[in-house]
Amino acid sequence: MRLADRMNRLGTETAFEVLVRAKALEATGVDVIHLEIGEPDFDTPANVVEAGCDALQGGWTHYGPAPGQPDLRDAIAEYINRRGTAYTPDQVVVTPGGKPVMFFVLLALLQEGDEAIYPDPGFPIYKSMIDFSGATAVPLPLREEHGFRLDVEELARLITPRTRLLIVNSPANPTGGVLERSDLEAIARLAVEHDLVVLSDEIYAEILYEGEHHSVAAFPGMQERTVILDGFSKTYAMTGWRLGYGLMPGELVGHVAKLMVNSVSCTASAVQRAGLEALTGPQDEVRAMVEAFRRRRSLVVEGLNAIPAVSCVEPKGAFYAFPNISRTGLSSKAFADRLLDEFGVAALAGTSFGAHGEGYLRLSYANSEENLRTALERLEACVRSLG
Ligand code: PLP
């Protein structure tokens, strides 16, 4: 079958491929610890599940407005504005997961001849979607020695007259790095000076271990040029429900809503009712989940730093550790393959997140402390086996 040329430009997320490989290995009787997939191991809070069930029973089984249900858009605007912004509910578009915000916004804004800057290592779909749009994807290296925060001077050097869009992600996948207020301020200054749109992926905003989350959209001149991407997948352990949203300049809303109409029509109606309960109901389970992640973070980072030839900076947010394994002598991919095939731990090579991920592994610590301890023992055995 002849495929359209654009399909050659579409990338993927290795996490799903590694999951399939790990499951195949498990099917042969091998015990595998899963540290590859980026989702909370907790269940969705019971009040949210109940709201979803009630909605289905209560007839929320029909199409709804393309940009989302009005009361959910109200609640989202109110929630996000705690980050210092002043979005109105009509600037909210509710989507099936956070990913479609990337897809729709990049399709709506980018075209051939444009350049878009994205973090490397970073969430792989950024580059994939920029490539798909026809624009040129320009990687912005995130370096360990800089706490995996972007270097503002390096960013300034990458901006050209063709640069149209910048993607920032804080707290970040895969590094757990968090941008400081001063970084955001400098990014905002550059964006205004060079007339850039910023896609600010804040999906891990609530999974932060120190201080308060700041949005780049809250800085002067930024709300009118920023799209905030956020959602329910991580904060409320709702990955499988598919519920996310974008907050964007008013002039963009109609276009993104049109892309919704042309693709999925709307986000599932009952799922949106559950989302309303998640945002407006009790938040104690979110707090308990973050505290559990905090304990696991210490366990994993201390454990990794005790392994010869491995070092790990402490992640400040999200639920990933990004250890440096370059001194083991293996490439990221070779190490990840060996760790899975011979030691039964599924992790991702840093290069799954871009070329600058070489020398690193991504471990998701959304797993039990017991499993994490066993995984660390196996990782140490893997390193020792290399002599
Ligand atoms: N942004 C980042 C940085 C992520 O890590 C993920 C999921 O892994 C997403 C967006 C997408 O989230 P969703 O599952 O809501 O589409």
Which residue, 252, 280, 308, sits at the end of a domain? 280
Say which amino acid occupies 303.
G
Q: Is the CB of 55 under 6 A from ligand 1?
A: no
DSSP-assigned beta bridge partners for residue 364: 320
Q: What is the DSSP letter of 311?
A: B
How far does CA 181 lie from the centroid of its chain? 20
- Residues spanned by the domain of 228: 46-280
Look at residue 361 in the predicted model and tell me its pLDDT.
98
In this structure, the answer to whether residues 206 and 315 fall within a common structural domain is no
CATH classification of the domain holding 360: 3.90.1150.10
Q: Which of 94, 234, 322, 348 to mutate to test the pocket of ligand 1 (most atoms within 8 A of CB)?
A: 234
Give tens-digit pLDDT for 116-148.
Answer: 999 999 999 999 999 999 999 999 999 999 999
Which residue, 247, 280, 313, sits at the end of a domain? 280
In this structure, the answer to whether residues 261 and 208 fall within a common structural domain is yes
Which residue, 280, 307, 342, sits at the end of a domain? 280
Q: Is the CB of 123 under 6 A from ligand 1?
A: yes
Categorize the per-residue pLDDT at 13 as very low, low, confident or very high, splitting at 50, 70 and 90.
confident
CA distances from 307 to 148, 328, 377 (A): 21, 11, 9
Categorize the per-residue pLDDT at 387 as very low, low, confident or very high, splitting at 50, 70 and 90.
confident
Helix (H) or strand (E) holding 258: helix 250-263
* Tokens coding 301: 């980072």
Please provide the average confidence, as pLDDT, over all residues in the chain.
97
Question: The pTM is what?
Answer: 0.97
Q: Is the CB of 223 under 6 A from ligand 1?
A: no
Give the β-pairing of 197-201 and 226-231: parallel
Of all atoms in ligand 1, which is nearest to the CA of residue 102? 10
Categorize the per-residue pLDDT at 15 as very low, low, confident or very high, splitting at 50, 70 and 90.
confident
* Tokens coding 63: 């199409």
In this structure, the answer to whether residues 218 and 266 fall within a common structural domain is yes
Of all atoms in ligand 1, which is nearest to the CA of residue 232? 15
Of all atoms in ligand 1, which is nearest to the CA of residue 172? 3
**Sign of dihedral through CA atoms 18, 21, 27, 30?**
negative
Q: Is the CB of 323 under 6 A from ligand 1?
A: no
Q: What is the DSSP letter of 248?
A: -
Q: Which of 16, 18, 37, 99 to mutate to test the pocket of ligand 1 (most atoms within 8 A of CB)?
A: 99
- Give the separation between CA 93 and CA 105, rounded to whole angstroms: 11
In this structure, the answer to whether residues 182 and 133 fall within a common structural domain is yes
Structural domain count, the chain: 2
Q: Is the model's pLDDT at 5 over the cut of 90?
A: yes
In this structure, the answer to whether residues 24 and 86 fall within a common structural domain is no
- Which of 5-19, 95-109, 261-275, 353-367 shows the lowest per-residue confidence on average (mean pLDDT)? 5-19
CA-proximal residue: ligand 1, atom 8 (nearest): 38
**Sign of dihedral through CA atoms 289, 290, 293, 294?**
negative
Q: What is the DSSP string of 216-246?
A: GGGSTT-GGGEEEEEESTTTTT-GGG--EEE
Give tens-digit pLDDT for 205-238.
Answer: 999 999 999 999 999 999 999 999 999 999 999 9
Q: What 3-state DSSP class applies to 354?
A: coil
Q: Is the model's pLDDT at 12 over the cut of 90?
A: no
Give tens-digit pLDDT for 263-318.
Answer: 999 999 999 999 999 999 999 999 999 999 999 999 999 999 999 999 999 999 99
Q: What length does the chain have?
A: 387
In this structure, the answer to whether residues 97 and 203 fall within a common structural domain is yes
Look at residue 237 in the predicted model and tell me its pLDDT.
98
Look at residue 279 in the predicted model and tell me its pLDDT.
98
CATH classification of the domain holding 213: 3.40.640.10
Q: How far is the CA of 144 from the centre of ligand 1 (A)?
A: 22
Q: What 3-state DSSP class applies to 25?
A: helix
Q: Is the model's pLDDT at 29 over the cut of 90?
A: yes
| Angle, CA 139 vertex, CA 190 and CA 116 arms, to 5° | 55
Give tens-digit pLDDT for 44-84.
Answer: 999 999 999 999 999 999 999 999 999 999 999 999 999 99
In this structure, the answer to whether residues 36 and 81 fall within a common structural domain is no
Where would I find the beta strands (DSSP E) of 109-250?
A: 115-120, 136-141, 163-169, 197-201, 226-231, 244-247
